[in-house]
Chains A and B, each alone.
Chain A
Amino acid sequence: MAFGPFLLLALMEGLVTAAILALAASGLSLVFGVMRVVNVAHGEFYMLGAVLAWAVTTMIPGPPAMAFLAAVLIAPLLVAALAAAADGLILKRLNYDPEATIVATIGLLYILQQAALSLYGPNANPVAAPFTWRIQLPWFGYSGYKLFVVLAAILVLLALWAFMTRTRAGLVMRATQVDRTTAQAFGINVDRVYMGTFALGAGLAALAGVLIVPVQQAQYLMGHDPLLLSFIVVIIGGLGSLRGTLIAALVIGLSDGVISMFFTPTLAKILATLLVAMVLVFRPQGLFGAKA
């Protein structure tokens, strides 16, 4: 294949990775920024989104597009509700102590993963894409649904940005992020903000899972990779900075696409990890993070 189309395909694949990564990592970043909780179970919310999407689409009869639309609406809400319950039952009782919550979310990771294994089973199950439109370029064909994933991710991230900057709830969340005690003194119910933030973060991961499931398949072990990559993205972008997360997701996603296509996927992972190490050495707060 000639260099031009080769690069085009690499960039398209990279954009899809970046889109999914941006959604999942923004959830992780939000939870850390507002709550100072490093959520190790974040990848499992992504997995639950995919698994629930499978459950919803198999239960709802009718055309794939309707079933998928239902999954997009229902699965993230269910996961968000589960996350809210986990926050009230576990994290709140640990007073959001950073070390304790890491251990607690590790436990949560295993509980969710094994619950999925017990209830959903070990098999990888496919979910039909809402449409099967395919682009035929002169050099190669490409899935139209993958481009839809990129578009959907951009829309969701714009909505998230508007929510954080233009609504009262976003203002309250940002106030809590800046100074929890002062926010409390001004009558903000910090417990409720925390619960909402944790639910929102999990919902974003679940949405990423729903969007990717027609491309991949729902399986109980699928949470590993996005967790690792989300952490890489969030560390590079700066924990708690949404803008940094988005830029880092683009950098990691596109470089992953291009490097794995021109060289090997392993090299792409090596370089991403090296980048994290470099950022931690020279700019520990991340590219866009505020100094702690």
Chain B
Amino acid sequence: MTSFIHPTRRGLLMAGGAGLLAAALPGHVGAQAAPIRIGFQLHRTGIGAAYGRWYERTAQAALTAINEAGGIGGRPVELLFEDDATDPKRGSEVVDKLTQQAGCDLVMGTLFSHVVMGSAPRAAELKVPYLVCSEGYHVASGALNRWTLQPGITDVRAQISTMAPWVAANLGKKVTMVFPDYAFGHDHRDFFTAAIQAQGGEVVAQIAVPPTETSFTRYFPQIPAETAVLYHVMVGPAVLTFVKELGEFYGTGAKPALFGFVDSLEAVDTATPGLEFLEGSHFWEAHPRVKAADAGEHEDHYRAAVGVDDNGASVSDAKDVSTYSHMFSTWETLYFIKQAMEAVDYAGPADRQKLVEAMEAITDLPYGIERPQGAKRFNGKTHQVFGSQHISQVQGGKLVKVHATTIDEGLYEDAVDYTSMSF
């Protein structure tokens, strides 16, 4: 009869062996129970809902890929999505909730600039890294803080400074701008006006449209007759109405050349009836929605992972068009987090400051599956990433890439040095 008090020799050997085996296991197996938690501030409802839907899908796809490859530093990763209703006030509450209640290591994912502006101060108070996917110039302008970074998408200022020379050389020099009347639109207004002047052109009229507007015909008569190029960038649920009414207004009559930011068409099918007038017009794209003939080697893998076909629509529903020129930023931001966390051997919230410093130290971000949109260069001082841009033309109802810019074309002087600020 054996017992714990009088163990057999065989029992002792087995227990000893098991102990040795457990000690020999790599450390991360023991840490499986403590995943890295990343909070995602999501525009699931409100005016940003179309973007939110695709931001969630893209981030989920990147999460799956990262976890299948062993997670971050050997630890599994969790994403916690929380809806902010595309509302600045709710935005700061979401940052709070994700950090304090859900215990997230950092927060990411915000697109709309007014939500970024409303949430970033709270992130700084909580001393939690806040990684936005927003395009706004607000990060690089110095208006925000040490805890807010934009590592996944270039800002409007860089995008515009690469577009203005092309517009002036190919479309015309007298430009009328139509833009949403808040921070993001004002970035377009200010930087494009300056950039086209540098090319010897001028902005002949600036037409600001409130972001909640649902009817646009009333704004079009303000477009001066001398306009050679109509520059449009609209956002929100009414973008389809905007382009349709623009088509009705000009109809078969004479019209200026159209140059739009694809924001005016994100989540909208370019072949929608009523949009025929867009044929031949040009759009800025960060990441060509319709797979380009010379697309990089990782393009197919990325599209398959997110569930997008070669036309940029959902593989399960061809009518569900993606926000292709923005959503890659969530994918690239997740890989940026992975790179920084692994560099500092991130253990938990106590390492948050070290993590931001590691992010600031990152510079070159080469093309790869981590960055399906293309190579990037991160500026640790301004917390802003720089990348290449594209111009596409609507041909046969599809966006066809016709021009690409280099990273260098989008660089500009630093307006701030966040690394000199205190945490």
Contacts and interface: CB of A to CB of B under 8 A. Distances in A.
Interface of A: 1, 6, 9-10, 13, 17, 117, 121-124, 126, 128, 132, 134, 136, 138-143, 215-217, 219, 221-222, 225, 257, 260-261, 265-266
A128 B274 CA distance: 10
Given A123-B49, A128-B273, A132-B274, A13 B225 contact: no
A6 B217 CA distance: 11
Given A13-B217, A124-B237, A222-B214, A140 B253 contact: yes
11 contacts: A13-B215, A13-B218, A124-B50, A126-B240, A141-B248, A216-B215, A216-B238, A217-B238, A221-B46, A222-B214, A261-B218
Contacts of B297: none
A9 B362 CA distance: 55
B338 interface: no
Contact of A265 (B53, B213, B253): B213
Contacts of A136: 251-253
A141 B250 contact: yes
Nearest to A138: B253
A140 B45 CA distance: 36
Given A1-B221, A9-B221, A13-B217, A216 B251 contact: no
A17 B213 CA distance: 13
A100 to B, nearest CB: 29
Interface in B213-240: 213-215, 217-218, 220-221, 225, 237-238, 240
A140 B249 contact: yes
A124 B240 contact: yes
A215 B44 contact: no
B67 interface: no
Contacts of A117: 45
B17 interface: no
B214 A216 contact: yes
Contact of A217 (B53, B241, B245): B241
Most buried by B among A13, A142, A216: A216
Contacts of A123: 49-50, 53, 237
Contacts of B273: 128, 132
Contacts of B11: none
B241 A215 contact: yes
B251 A217 contact: no
B212 to A, nearest CB: 8
A141 B253 contact: yes
Given A140-B250, A265-B210, 16 more contacts: A1-B225, A13-B217, A117-B45, A121-B49, A122-B45, A122-B52, A123-B53, A128-B273, A132-B274, A140-B249, A141-B249, A143-B245, A215-B215, A216-B241, A217-B238, A265-B218
Nearest to B85: A122
Nearest to B272: A126
A140 B251 contact: yes
A219 B237 contact: yes
B247 to A, nearest CB: 8
B221 A261 contact: yes
A217 B46 contact: no
Contacts of A1: 221, 225
A226 to B, nearest CB: 10
Given A13-B215, A117-B45, A261-B218, A143 B237 contact: no
Interface string B180-212: 000000000000000000000000000000100
Nearest to B47: A221
Contacts of B210: 265-266
Interface string B258-290: 000000000000001110000000000000000
B351 to A, nearest CB: 36
Contacts of A132: 273-274
A162 to B, nearest CB: 31
Most buried by A among B49, B240, B250: B49
Given A122-B46, A123-B237, A141 B251 contact: yes
A221 B4 CA distance: 70
A217 B240 contact: yes
A260 B250 contact: no
A124 B238 contact: yes
A142 B248 contact: yes
A118 to B, nearest CB: 10
B252 A225 contact: no
Contact of A6 (B221, B237, B250, B272): B221
A141 B237 CA distance: 24
A125 to B, nearest CB: 9
Nearest to B239: A124
A134 B246 CA distance: 13
A134 B248 contact: yes
A141 B252 contact: yes
A261 B217 CA distance: 9
Contacts of A257: 218
A140 B245 CA distance: 11
A143 B248 contact: yes
Nearest to A1: B221
A260 B218 contact: yes
Contacts of B238: 124, 216-217
Nearest to A5: B221
Nearest to A257: B218
Q: Which 7 A-B pairs have the closest CB atoms?
A: A141-B251, A124-B237, A122-B49, A122-B45, A261-B218, A143-B248, A1-B221
A215 B238 CA distance: 10
A260 B50 CA distance: 28
Contacts of A139: 253
Nearest to B48: A122
A122 B87 CA distance: 14
Nearest to B237: A124
Contacts of A222: 214
A62 B49 CA distance: 30
Given A13-B218, A216-B215, A122 B241 contact: no
Given A13-B218, A140-B249, A122 B274 contact: no
Contacts of B218: 9-10, 13, 257, 260-261, 265
